[in-house]
Structure 1
Amino acid sequence: MIRVLLADDEAMIRAGVKAILDSDPSLEVVAEAGDGRQAVDLALAHRPDVALLDIRMPRLDGLAAAAELRRVAPATAVVMLTTFGEDDYIARALEVGASGFLLKSGDPRELIAGIHAVADGAAYLSPKVAQRVIARLAGGRMSREAQARDRVAGLTDREREVLALLGAGLSNAEIARRLHIVEGTVKAYVSTILTRLDVRNRVQAAIIAHEAGLVA
């Protein structure tokens, strides 16, 4: 069972999202919050697997709440859910450590798929968001590719192998099966990789993997 915290300042939106999540018997909404501060407090109380946060909320907005959750509840994966698809929001969400970014206007199946993906240790961007990220990365590609190659050069062969599979979108469990090692070892490798690359989350590491040419 995947335990989910849902935070949105609009009660009707929360009800609609909860109805979608309730359609999947493997998901359980364990708490609902109407603002970012309450979301952080409830996350500390309930320790959910995933926190689904709206970006624009009172007291503490979703981006600030995500950053706070990364600090006080790092085991809780954060997914941003919003009506806004501007590049600045996407970039800031990734910078504060969100593992997923979904648009409220997207297919409900994307919401369920995203929750499962981040709960399994992977990252998830809705297709429309992914297109924006790719377009944003298109400019200055050559310089970023060189920088990415320099950054991964400091990794061991095994760490580069794990990073390549992470960049291909595999979860920790899938990487473990592919490399014939235990999942705990993969988690240790991922933690080391994030530290050595000086990135906050798997999304940023995956981008580096692609820019460095580790992913076909």
Structure 2
Amino acid sequence: MPRIIIADEQRLFRAGLRKVLEEHLRGSVIVDVSNPLELIKGLQSPFKTDLVIVGSRLLPAGDPTYLGALKREAGAARLLLVVPQASADLFQDALSLGFHGLVVRRQREDEMLMAVRTILEGRLYAPSAILPVKPPDPAAPIRQAERGERSFGLTLRQREVLALIGKGLSNREIAVALSIAEATVKIHVSAVIRVLGVRNRTEAALLAPTMLKGKI
């Protein structure tokens, strides 16, 4: 049976999801951690991890270094992102960052279980809220993420986020301006940095005027 790590800052969420998985995936080994450092340590265990469920708030904003370390330690483990709200753009962002799907924090227990089973089976999972978006072929977006490429460029939401980064807004201010959750902004910022091939949001801000000329 699989070994699953649940990494999220909210204790009640971890406990609730752990109960569901232990009840329906009998024999599974479930580990729950509350911060980024504990997650890395959990992945360094001598026991093979099959699935990592990561709350978006645990990902440092605009810091591809931690995400890279997470993916290296995860190895062949599948990655499922937990977000406060979902959209087609956010789903694509998650895939571009190397995740194999996402779930909304308030999804029903049966949907959470379906997401876990789907990803453990080697397929991608998109929440019903953003369907009928058809998940891309599993190999293609992951290969793009490894190369740091997005052949279709920035999405509309990514351009909006980049424009506000260029104006010097913080993640919290961007969230207010776009009426989305701050945790969602963090994912978009990380995706923008990866798509542009820059090291941080400062370099992204410097590119913003050129990248967005006539686009927004």
What TM-score bracket applies, with the shorter chain setting the length?
0.5 to 0.7
Q: Which residue of 2 aligns with 1:14?
A: 14
Aligned-pair distance for 1:27? 6.0
Greater share of helix:
1
Question: Does the aligned pair in 2 maintain the 1:101–1:129 contact within 8 Å?
Answer: no
Q: Which residue of 1 aligns with 2:71?
A: 70
Q: Does 1:5 align with 2:27?
A: no
Q: Which residue of 2 aligns with 1:91?
A: 92
Q: Which residue of 1 aligns with 2:120?
A: 119
Q: Identity of aligned pairs, percent? A: 16
Count of paired positions: 148
Q: Which runs of 5+ in 2 are unaligned?
A: 150-216
- Distance (whole Å) between structure 2 residues aligned to residue 112 and residue 61 of structure 1: 30
Could you list the per-position Cα deviations for residues 164-197 of structure 1 after superposition, in whole angstroms to 9, with x for gaps in the alignment?
A: xx84x8xxxxxxxxxxxxxxxxxxxx6xxx59x9
Distance 1:13 1:115, change over 3 A: same
Aligned-pair distance for 1:98? 0.3
- TM-score, structure 1 normalization: 0.56
Map of 1:191-210 to 2, 5 A cutoff?
194=140, 198-200=143-145
- Distance (whole Å) between structure 2 residues aligned to residue 9 and residue 111 of structure 1: 18
Report the aligned-residue RMSD.
Answer: 3.7
AA at the equivalent of 1:79: L
Distance 1:64 1:199, change over 3 A: same
- TM-score, structure 2 normalization: 0.56
Aligned-pair distance for 1:91? 3.3
- Distance (whole Å) between structure 2 residues aligned to residue 102 and residue 63 of structure 1: 21
Q: Which residue of 2 aligns with 1:47?
A: 48
- Distance (whole Å) between structure 2 residues aligned to residue 61 and residue 96 of structure 1: 12
Could you list the per-position Cα deviations for residues 9-48 of structure 1 after superposition, in whole angstroms to 9, with x for gaps in the alignment?
A: 1111111111111221346243211012321221121431
AA at the equivalent of 2:56: I
Aligned-pair distance for 1:64? 6.8
Query: Relative contact order: is structure 1 or structure 2 higher (C-alpha 8 Å, sep ≥ 6)?
Result: 2
Q: Does 1:38 align with 2:38?
A: yes
Q: Which runs of 5+ in 1 are unaligned?
A: 138-165, 170-189, 205-216
AA at the equivalent of 2:39: A
